[in-house]
Every structure is written in C-alpha cells, then in structure tokens.
Amino acid sequence: MFQALSSGTLAGNQHNEDLFSVSGRFAWIMDGVTGITDRRLFPSSPTDAVWFVRTFDRFLKEAAITQPNVNELIHTAIAKTISLAKSESEDFIRTPPHLLPAASFSIICHSEEGLHLAAIGDCPILVKSPNGSTQLFGDNRVTAFEAETIALLSEFQHQAPEAPRETHLEALREPLLQQRRHRNSSKGFWVADPTTNWLPQLVSVTIPEPEGCEILLCTDGLYRLCDLFHKYQPDSFFDKARTHGIPRLLDEVRHLESMDPNCTTTPRIKRSDDATGLLLTLS
C-alpha cells in the first residue's frame, strides 16, 4: 500500500490535462497530450486529452480492485477505454492514430516481487532508497524529439529576434505535425492512447527490495525545474519535495516561468505547462 506524503497539480493554461491517483497497491500519473488540430472527438470534455486521461483513470481505478499486476491492470483499463471511445464518438474509428488523444503515463505497483515501475512518454519516476541515493526512472525516447524542437525554436528566435512569439511558434507548426505523424511508431516517440499498440512499448523495471523507499511521480511540467531550468538535480529535487512539499515546487516552477514570459532566456513551446507531483512512501 502507498501513503501519499505530498501532492499537487497546477494547470498551465485554461485546462489541466494532468492527473494522479493512488489506489491500493497502485499509483499512477498522466500528462495529457494536447492536440494540434481543431478536430474534436469528445466535445463533452474540455479537451480530448482531458477525456482520455479521466476515462483511462476511471477504468484503472475500477480494475485496481481486482487485477493482480500492472500489465493486467492496464490491459483491462485500456480495453474499456477503447470500448467507450467507440460508443461516444462516431469518428473515433476513422481518426488517424496521430490525431487520437494521448498521454504520457507512469505507474507503480507494490507486490511480493517488489516495486514495479512502468512508464511511457515523459512522466519521470524518482526513487529514494533508505541509504539516501536517488534513482531516476522512465522513458527517455521522447527526449531527442523535444531537444530537436527546442533547437528549432532557438534558431527561429535567433534569426528573427524582433518577431512576435506567435511567429516563431507558427514556424514550428509543420515540424511538430511531422513529429506527431510519427507518434507511436518506430520513427517517433511513444505515449499512451486509446489503442493497444503502445502496450508492448512500456519501459519497466522492478526493485526487488523496496522497503524504506520513497517515490516521486511527476509530469514534465514539474520536472522542468531539473531538465529545463536546471535549478535542481534529481536528488536535490526529491529532497525539496520531501522537506517542503510539492506545492512549494509548483510555486517555484511558476515563478521561473513568470520571470521569462517570452521564453527567450529558456526557450520552450509552452510558457507555462501543466505541472503535477505525487510523493509516496510504502506503508
């Protein structure tokens, strides 16, 4: 069983597409992937990504009551999510895969075998052992694509420093569309979506003797304190969450974002991103 020590989430814009949950031996976090087209499949929800993360979360909670491990839990929940998507949207079956709602997703499970961690997309998992060392786990396949995008943005900013930010983002539209077309394929990065194609691509590891460990799940919007703003290393990031709580880290990331509103000192696509963290201990 997991006990939450601290948690929090903040929307980066109008709608928060992050969420986290703790259910018995399981805990997970999701970061919805915002669509880059105007096409909507689930207009009853604020965004299609919100529909996906909330629906998948609901079925994960239901399945967590009976399912024994991460793989069976996810298979059960995603099958129900797909079934509901088919019934709620006439266009779902005809929608190209890269236009489906999606999410980065990390999940942990405490069982007799130890602490099982699985991830797809960019929601990092940090584990602090009783000896004080911090290990970073997750799926780093998206890193190269994010670096490519930031490099292009920096180039556009350098070439036209006086141009408005909207002009730089518009120049990125086609490269971003190209990346999205390759999503969930051998040419691109992988995320969770309402299909079963991504299930074999989960990155997983088991810690055999996790007693005394503490675990921090976070979305990339919070982890940008480490990999974008470089204010913390993973160990100091974890320690700050442990001593001051997730809300303090959320305040810090919003402060750094506000100090660079034009995204020139620290180039980034989103001025403010949805940010979420969940700090857990085994009980």
* The pLDDT of residue 89 is above 80: yes
Q: What is the pLDDT of residues 151-176, one digit of tens each?
A: 888 888 878 887 888 887 787 788 88
Strand extents, DSSP E, the chain: 2-10, 18-23, 26-33, 102-111, 114-120, 125-128, 134-137, 203-207, 214-218, 275-282
How is residue 283 annotated by DSSP? -
* The pLDDT of residue 273 is above 70: yes
* The pLDDT of residue 17 is above 70: yes
Q: What is the pLDDT of residues 250-266, one digit of tens each?
A: 999 999 999 999 898 99
**Other Cβ atoms within 10 Å of 83 Cβ, number:** 12
Q: What is the pLDDT of residues 132-146, one digit of tens each?
A: 999 999 999 988 878
What pLDDT is recorded for position 35? 67
Q: What is the pLDDT of residues 197-236, one digit of tens each?
A: 999 999 999 999 888 999 999 999 999 999 999 999 999 9
